[in-house]
Amino acid sequence: MNDAIQYNAIRYETDERVALISFHRPKQLNAFSLELCAEVMDAVARADRDPSIRVLVVTGSGGRAFSAGYDIKDDDEAMKSSVEEWWENLNQDFDFTFAPWKCSKPVIAMIDGYCLAGGLEFAQMCDVRYCSEASRFGVVETRFSAGIVTMAMPWIIGARCRELIYSGDTFGADEAFRLGLVDRVFAREALHEETMKRAKRMSQVALSCLQYNKRAINNTYESMGFNSAMRYGVAIATLSDSTVTPEFAEFDRVRRERGLKAALEWRDAQFRKYE
């Protein structure tokens, strides 16, 4: 690795023509805090401006997770009560997850361990997804009545997304590959080397060629209504999050009285006998 730029919640390094951005909150399974979101957006913009960088790789630190999603503690500290407050908050989340799509250069998600909820949303907005055989995926936010801020999954795997979104089931790397959610699966010990090798191979292509091709591919989706569908998804997530369901009310009560671990156990128990 070459030059490293100092952040608090992420790590930013360069290796030849590749920028490596790492979520760095391993004790929290790289959950997205407000600070992390701001730093990632800054780092992606920095790499996009840097003429020496041609490809970005985004990953998670610690070996346990790419990211488990948004940090629930941040929601506690800025609890929303109105549709307008939820709308503002979720649009900020959307801008964060949309950063890889808006970047003019290819962005690769390197996934090892858990890739859940908002973490999966972010990964889906990357151009390419590589994962380890130990990775686990899931739209788990639906299991406690939370909205999906960035509804990209229908555009990646089509109608097969329905079962995953409706159930909130988690699934492994082989299933993710079968569905087309990830592009390649590697042994855990080979993931970093194989990802960086492919990123560096991409980086040998002329920068303008990479950018023009990404622009053309993105426009293919946008001409089919991708942007308006994404924005509609934010509106639906706003309605979902501002609606207090009995399931969410009980999850939240258990979490506040007995802690997050107990709340997750309560949530999982509702599904266990059917799995």
Q: Give the residue extent of every domain in the chain.
A: 4-243
**Residues ≥6 apart with Cβ < 8 Å to 39:** 7, 8, 9, 10
Closest Cα partner for 127 from 79, 56, 194?
A: 56
In the chain (275 residues long), the average pLDDT of successive 10-residue segments reads 83 97 97 97 98 98 96 63 89 97 98 98 98 98 93 98 97 98 98 98 98 98 98 96 90 89 91 91
Q: What pLDDT score was predicted for residue 82?
A: 84
Specify the 3-state DSSP secondary structure of 153. helix
CA distances from 246 to 243, 253, 256 (A): 10, 10, 15
pTM of the model: 0.95
Q: Does domain 4-243 have CATH number 3.40.50.300?
A: no
Q: What pLDDT is stored for residue 77 in this prediction? A: 47
End-to-end CA distance of the chain: 44
Q: Residue 253 and residue 44: Cα distance in Å, rounded? A: 38
Angle among Cα 26, 29, 30 to the nearest 5 degrees reads 70
Record the tokens describing residue 194, joined without a space: 């194989």
Do residues 170 and 136 make contact, with C-beta atoms less than 8 angstroms apart?
Answer: yes
pLDDT at 72: 80
Cβ contact 90:238 at 8 Å: yes
Cβ pair 76, 167 in contact under 8 A? no
**Pair 239, 232: CB distance under 8 Å:** no
